[in-house]
């Protein structure tokens, strides 16, 4: 009733999925702007049980670039498998 799953068929599907992820990565890079979110840290300012100091910004993460890197890694994983 259903097609038998073979290594060749799985390889074709993985290559197709990798190509789609690469296309998505290119689209995200083309459409993204410079929007970034801050990564903050909060440290204790006294003994245990006391209040915390004001949060400090460690660095800003560009959202578009971060999403594009994730899609690129996903495409790479599809091509490796």
pLDDT in tens, 61-74: 999 999 999 999 99
Q: Which residue has the higher pLDDT, 50 or 30?
A: 30
pLDDT for 14 equals 96
The number of CA neighbours under 13 Å toward the Cβ of 49 is 0
Please state at what angle helix 63-80 crosses helix 7-31, rounded to 10 degrees: 160
Q: Which residue has the higher pLDDT, 50 or 20?
A: 20
pLDDT at 50 over 80: yes
pLDDT at 38 over 90: yes
Q: How confident is the model at residue 45 (pLDDT cuts 50, 70, 90)?
A: confident
pLDDT at 1 over 80: no
């Amino acid at each position: 009733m259903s097609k038998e799953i073979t290594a060749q068929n799985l390889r074709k599907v993985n290559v197709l999925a990798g190509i789609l992820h690469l296309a998505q990565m290119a689209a995200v890079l083309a459409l993204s702007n410079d929007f970034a979110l801050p990564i903050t840290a909060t440290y204790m300012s006294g003994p245990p049980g006391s209040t915390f100091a004001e949060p400090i910004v460690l660095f800003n993460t560009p959202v578009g670039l971060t999403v594009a890197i994730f899609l690129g890694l996903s495409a790479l994983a599809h091509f490796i498998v």
